[in-house]
């Protein structure tokens, strides 16, 4: 009898514990988060669930006003480079998953009833029909003429509210050397890559068949590669984050130690204006000296600024090589007040900080006020990698790559390692 | 898929080699070395000279290859292909030498995954360094392929 009572009490306690950990993601709709918060570490009051899993190398996301989710894949899977997901039974998780479109890539956004898709050499759009998950079969070309690249080839993009589209055209190079990533090879001066790469180009959002060289307008330059790019509608302003250059120590061991090379340069958070020049390839941002420094390929010694004294500084510096891959300004009402209009940033995680451990593999948050950071950045969601220490990027089970805000205010995070889509909600008091 | 093929930009020479050498098998090392056992461990039981050679090979790898292909040869997903089991490491030595001396650019497929990046040419490496580093890779990261002889490298590079 005693044993039975003990068993009942134990079961009751266990059950209570389970109930407690199964927080309601959205209590009004009866959505329940995963017991382990999908493996994530989150601030108090937040919980998470796996919205979809193993859908392919999931890059960026767009969420329609009806809650349908569209994800770009870096490689076509099951006959499509775009994944269309719907939660039809309203349990908070996708139950209809369709693959669509011949293009694969990174950029994806919804605008005026179309899904726009950024393949590496062309930006197209597919028409959405109200009520239907899968968009039109035939895409229309919006922007084209981008050259095929084998570095920084992705075409992420964003829209302002005045009918323009802003597209990152990354540099197919590390530092514009004569021989890319080769020790001793000097930087080309002036760098010819900047004519059609290494910046952000502006196009008409709804005009077909625009050629980059003819109709594209170079809105900002000196940006090596900005996978994270977004228009902030509250500030009416463009923001982006740069992937800083690599291998300072490997190519200039006399100027940089391995540790300095692992920590230089900063990943830069950029406030982008028409005509901005952030200095790549001539300059990089040193977060210790807090200034733009002349790159060694252009005669720099790790200290002097030279021509870089005119290059624009970032509004915030992040650890080197952490690869910011998406940026989202939160405008929902689900999260607490301090998150409102602040920036979430998905850090894909580094590959070249050896011999130091790799860094990143988390989603960060930056509070904002009046268009500039109002406090230091913090790690918002961590644990994606699923291992204690990432020594090599392949160790990471999941890598944050894309961010999107759902109509209910929950935050979606995509993972391009194993194709998991996370949904993070706030349910605390 | 057509797009993928379009993006694979090998040098003409490399392309020829890939076509002609696709069928060349993975020559498993004969003898007592277990395929799962890293050669470094095996080397510990061997004369000092062999141990020094392994160390030397590591130095070349560390200096030129490690930053991208990583200390454990696992590469970087989507960018730099892994060098371990099922990778190109067991290909015909001629292909491997040419990849090192000419570099490699564009989308490649390894173990069902795609990698798109650029590997710089490494013409500065001596024949000895190429033989050493390729032999090191072929006997590490879970590989157990035959080492590549310096004379073969010399022959492939045309006595350079």
Give domain limits for chain B.
Answer: 2-21+48-156
Supply the mean pLDDT for chain A.
93
Count other C-beta atoms under 10 Å from residue A163's C-beta. 13
Tens of pLDDT, residues A374-412: 999 999 999 999 998 999 999 999 999 999 999 999 999
Q: What is the pLDDT of residue A16?
A: 42
Residues of A near B (CB-CB distance < 8 A)? 57, 74-76, 102, 148, 150-151, 153, 172, 179-182, 246-247, 250, 351-352, 354, 391-395, 399, 416-417
> Quick one: chain A helix, strand, coil %, rounded to 5?
15, 35, 50
- pLDDT interval class at A354 (50, 70, 90): confident
Q: Does B7 have pLDDT greater than 90? A: no
Compute the average pLDDT of residues A100-121: 98
- pLDDT at residue number A272: 98
What fold characterizes domain B2-21+48-156? Cytochrome Bc1 Complex; Chain D, domain 2 (1.10.760)
Lowest mean pLDDT among A112-126, A293-307, B35-49: B35-49
Q: Where are the alpha helices (DSSP H) in A118-253?
A: 248-251
pLDDT at A57 over 90: yes
- Closest among B155, B147, B140 to B71, alpha carbons compared: B140
> B57 or A115: which carries more pLDDT confidence?
A115
Contact B110, B82 (CB under 8 A): yes
List, in sequence order, every beta strand (DSSP E) within A289-377: 291-294, 316-318, 324-329, 343-347, 362-366, 368-369, 372-373
At residue A15, does pLDDT exceed 50?
no
Report DSSP state, residue A21.
H
Q: In this predicted model, what pLDDT tens digit does every residue of A179-213 receive, in sequence order?
A: 999 999 999 999 999 999 999 999 999 999 999 99
- What backbone torsions phi and psi does residue A85 show, to the nearest 5 degrees? -125, 140
Please report residues of A whose CB lies closer than 8 A to that of B76. 351, 392-394
The pLDDT value given to residue A195: 98
CA angle, residues A369, A370, A376, in degrees to nearest 5: 35
Minimum distance, in Å, between the CA of residue A245 and any CA atom of chain B:
13
Query: In the block, which residue shows the tokens 């050498």?
Result: B21
Whether A318 and A362 have beta carbons less than 8 Å apart is answered as no
Q: How far is B12 from chain A (nearest CA, A)?
A: 17
Among candidate residues B109, B83, B79, the one with its CA nearest the CA of residue A76: B109
Residue A417 has a pLDDT of 97
pLDDT band at A428 (very low <50, low <70, confident <90, very high): confident
pLDDT at position B18:
38
Render the burial of A188-201: b for 16+ CB within 10 Å, e for the rest. beebebbebbbbbb
Tokens in use for A116? 């726009």
Specify the pLDDT at position B58: 77
Query: In Å, how far is B76's CA from the nearest CA of chain A?
Result: 6
Cross-chain residue pair A393–B70, CB shorter than 8 Å = yes
Q: Which two tokens stand for residue A325?
A: 């891959």
Q: pLDDT band at A429, cuts 50/70/90? A: low
Residue B159's pLDDT band (cuts 50, 70, 90): low
Q: What is the pLDDT of residues A130-148, one digit of tens each?
A: 999 999 999 999 999 999 9
Q: Is B79 on the interface with A (CB under 8 A)?
A: yes
- Whether A25 and A42 have beta carbons less than 8 Å apart is answered as no
**Whole-angstrom Cα distance, residue A46 to residue A194?**
43
Residue B21: pLDDT band with limits 50, 70, 90: very low
Cα separation, B86 vs B142, whole angstroms: 10
- Coil, strand or helix at A182: coil
Task: Inform me whether the C-beta atom of residue B86 falls under 8 Å from chain A C-beta atoms.
Answer: no
Confidence of residue A31 (pLDDT cuts 50, 70, 90): confident
Res A29: pLDDT: 60
Cα–Cα dist A275/A219, whole Å: 6
- Cβ burial of A182 (10 Å; 0-12, 13-18, 19+) is middle
Please give the average per-residue pLDDT across B25-54, as a whole number: 37
Q: What is the pLDDT of residue B158?
A: 85
B102 interface with A at CB cutoff 8 Å: no
pLDDT digits over A142-170, tens only?
A: 999 999 999 999 999 999 999 999 999 99
- Chain B residues with CB inside 8 Å of A101's CB? none
Q: Can you tell me the distance from the alpha carbon of B54 to that of B135, in angstroms, rounded to the nearest whole number?
A: 9
Strand, coil or helix: B5: helix
Answer yes or no: are the C-beta atoms of B95 and B10 closer than 8 Å. no
Using a CB-CB cut-off of 8 Å, the residues of chain B touching A247 are 67
Residue A84 and residue A133 in contact, taking contact as beta carbons nearer than 8 Å: yes
Neighbours of B53 (CB within 10 A): 17
Confidence of residue B34 (pLDDT cuts 50, 70, 90): very low
**A296, A286 contact by CB (below 8 A):** no
What per-residue confidence (pLDDT) applies to A23?
54
Q: What pLDDT shows up at residue A67?
A: 97
Tokens at residue A356, please? Answer: 């130091």
Q: Tell me, what's the ipTM?
A: 0.86
For residue A344, what are the CA distances in angstroms to A58, A347, A365, A397, A420?
18, 10, 5, 21, 18
Token pair 């493996």 is at which residue?
A: A39
How many CA atoms, within 13 angstroms, populate the side-chain half-sphere of residue A390? Answer: 27
The pLDDT of residue B54: 41
Tens of pLDDT, residues A244-299: 999 999 999 999 999 999 999 999 999 999 999 999 999 999 999 999 999 999 99
Q: Does position A20 have pLDDT exceeding 80, yes or no? A: no
Give strand pairing partners of A379.
Answer: A364
- Biggest CA-to-CA distance, chain B: 52
């Amino acid at each position: 009898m005693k044993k039975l009572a003990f068993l009942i009490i134990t079961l009751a306690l266990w059950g209570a514990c389970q109930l407690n950990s199964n927080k309601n993601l959205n209590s009004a709709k009866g959505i329940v988060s995963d017991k382990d918060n999908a493996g994530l570490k989150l601030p108090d009051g937040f919980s998470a669930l796996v919205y979809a899993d193993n859908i392919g190398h999931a890059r960026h996301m767009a969420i329609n006003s009806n809650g349908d989710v569209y994800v770009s894949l870096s490689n076509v899977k099951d006959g499509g480079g775009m994944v269309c997901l719907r939660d039809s039974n309203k349990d908070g998780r996708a139950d209809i998953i369709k693959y669509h479109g011949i293009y694969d890539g990174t950029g994806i956004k919804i605008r005026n009833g179309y899904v726009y898709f950024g393949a590496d050499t062309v930006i197209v759009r597919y028409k959405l029909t109200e009520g239907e998950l899968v968009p039109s079969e035939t895409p229309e070309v919006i922007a084209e003429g981008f050259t095929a690249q084998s570095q920084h080839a992705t075409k992420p993009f964003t829209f302002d509210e005045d009918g323009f589209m802003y597209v990152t055209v990354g540099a197919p190079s590390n530092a514009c050397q004569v021989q890319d990533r080769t020790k001793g090879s000097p930087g080309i001066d002036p760098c010819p890559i900047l004519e059609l790469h290494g910046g952000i180009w502006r196009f008409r959002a709804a005009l077909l068949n625009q050629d980059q060289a003819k109709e594209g307008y170079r809105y900002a330059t000196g940006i090596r590669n900005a996978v994270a790019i977004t228009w902030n509608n509250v500030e009416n302003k463009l923001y982006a984050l740069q992937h800083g250059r690599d291998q300072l120590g490997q190519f200039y061991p006399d100027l940089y130690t391995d540790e300095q090379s692992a920590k230089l340069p900063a990943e830069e958070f950029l406030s982008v204006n028409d005509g901005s020049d952030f200095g790549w390839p001539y300059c990089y941002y040193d977060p210790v000296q807090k200034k733009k420094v002349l790159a060694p390929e252009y005669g720099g010694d790790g200290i002097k600024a030279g021509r870089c004294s005119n290059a624009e500084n970032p509004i915030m510096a992040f650890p080197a090589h952490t690869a910011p891959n998406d940026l989202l300004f939160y405008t929902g009402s689900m999260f607490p007040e301090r998150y409102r209009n602040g920036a979430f940033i998905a850090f894909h995680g580094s590959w070249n900080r050896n011999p130091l451990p790799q860094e990143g593999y988390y989603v960060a948050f930056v509070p904002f006020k009046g268009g500039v950071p109002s406090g230091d950045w913090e790690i918002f969601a961590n644990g994606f990698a699923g291992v204690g220490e990432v020594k090599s990027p392949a160790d990471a089970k999941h890598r944050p790559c894309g961010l999107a805000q759902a109509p209910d205010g929950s935050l979606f995070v995509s993972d391009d390692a194993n194709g998991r889509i996370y949904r993070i909600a706030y349910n605390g008091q | 898929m057509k797009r993928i093929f379009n993006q694979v930009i090998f040098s003409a020479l490399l392309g020829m080699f890939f076509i002609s050498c696709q069928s060349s098998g993975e020559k498993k090392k004969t003898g007592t070395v277990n395929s799962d056992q890293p050669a470094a461990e095996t080397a510990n039981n061997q004369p000092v000279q062999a141990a020094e050679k392994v160390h030397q090979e590591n130095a070349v790898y560390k200096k030129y290859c490690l930053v991208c292909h990583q200390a454990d040869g696992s590469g970087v997903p989507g960018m730099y292909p892994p060098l371990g089991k099922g990778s190109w490491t067991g290909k015909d030595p001629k292909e491997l030498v040419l990849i090192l001396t000419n570099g490699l650019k564009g989308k490649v497929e390894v173990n069902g995954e795609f990698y798109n990046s650029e590997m710089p040419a490494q013409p500065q490496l001596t024949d000895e360094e190429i033989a050493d580093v390729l032999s090191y890779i072929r006997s590490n990261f879970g590989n157990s392929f035959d080492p590549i002889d310096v004379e073969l490298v010399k022959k492939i590079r045309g006595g350079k």
